[in-house]
Structure 1
Amino acid sequence: SIKLLVKILDIKEIMEKVRRRKTWESSILFKAARLIARKTNKYEVIRIWRAAWYLHILGFHEMKIKKERVKELSLLVHEIEKLLQFY
């Protein structure tokens, strides 16, 4: 969703970094979330992105979080759908 919002909102700074590096590095995604939040005045984007990242790394790669926490984070991550409705 972060990548999609970058494209929809035409955030050139991020698109240029991705083009140069040929990948969406985590640092670029975190910066993109901050820029999206500023551009849309929807600062929950940052919280949602952090939850998605945490879920991906500790839930998928490391398998270190409990089922209940996965459910909580998953619900939070799905809040991005509300934001996407406007775009």
Structure 2
Amino acid sequence: MTSQTPSEKPQRFALIDFIRGAAIIGVVIYHFIWDLRLFRFVVTDPAYDIVWMVSQKILFSSFLMLAGVSLVLAHGNGIDWRGFWKRFLILMA
């Protein structure tokens, strides 16, 4: 497995970053509307309104997809299991 030198920057994918940013903004808006409904500032109910229900599914699916894409991009050469378990044990200590 090759390691990067400190001067090398990993390649960024603008489309992935854009989709990730759009998903984050969408989730913030969804939760903001949910809170507005909780405090009775809006009439629509995200739990039962079809537009918000579809938005919820799209946002959830995009997060799962982006998590998978990010894992593949981060570990394209394989997972460093030794480093993984070392970090895992540090977190659990």
TM-score, structure 2 normalization: 0.35
TM-score, structure 1 normalization: 0.37
More helix by share: 1
Larger Rg: 2
